[in-house]
Structure 1
Amino acid sequence: MFESLGPDDFDEHRVLEFHRCSGRPAAVLVETSFIECVLHRAEPQHARAAAFWDHLDLADTSIVYSGFAEFEIFESAHRKGPQAARHHKSAWRDLLSSTQMHWASVDAVADDVPDLMEEFGLTAAGAVHVATAEHWEVDGFVTVDPSFGVVDRARLPLMIDAEGAQLARRLRVS
């Protein structure tokens, strides 16, 4: 049904916009900002993120998420208040039960985090996600956060919404 995603599907900055992805990535890492957009209908990028999530699921892509992302999701839920937190956690559980996802331990990548923080100026959370993507050798790092464009294109193929892609490309040029 879907042809395999190849290196030519990405542009020269190694960025691929959600709506331009027609192939099947074998494996991707979904970063917290993307998961949050899928979970929240009020997010501006929700429709595009949810459509891309469906594409990954239908293409039978291995969807990997960091154990740290789960903590970030719960933290975000608690900031929204008790009722919103319950809804948020329920939406996360529904997503986990409806999609084949792979949980990735932080332990395997912990030693790489300080170097990534120093090399690219990433937060600890950002470095955990990048290290996890590298460890799992995924075909794409799925996010709506263009700041991941600071990571060398050879190390991190970005799959991102159209608006975020513009900034990510600029970061990869500089």
Structure 2
Amino acid sequence: MPESTLDDLVAVALDSPGPAAARSAVTVLTAMAGDGHHDATVALGRVLAGELGRSCPDEAWHAKDAAGVLHAALPPLVKIFILGHEARYFVDNLDAIRSPDVGADALRLLQQTVRRGAPIQDAVLTAVLLAGFAGFAAGPVTAELSPNVRLRMLRTVIETARVIPG
């Protein structure tokens, strides 16, 4: 998919006057990210950064692989979200990925997006869970788990994290 199309979806997700178009844009980006489309995952990260109210240098969004994302000037929660979709890299680099900078702000953001019914709320929940997973999976409790078990756990987070209304 051309980059300009992804840019258009990001713009709709962030600047749509109504929720239906923004939800549709986020749904398309989420589906593409779930199919392993790296650029769509980065575009969804741009939407997440917009929710965080953080601007990032343009070059930070042009990382073409997981190693580039890890070293890009992105907010920690956004970086964790994007790298979570690169499952093998995520599991192999937990110590470098986990971030002490993700904490109360992430929970506050999650609460705000859920209260507003923001289209990006499932991605925010996924990012918060991935941040917790990175800390947990790198710790002593999971030291005995094989990388394949960690991969299955990670994929479960990515595939099933959804905010349930009510």
Asked if TM exceeds 0.5, the reply is: no
Structure with more contact order per residue of length (Cα contacts < 8 Å, sep ≥ 6)? 1
Q: Which has the higher helix share?
A: 2
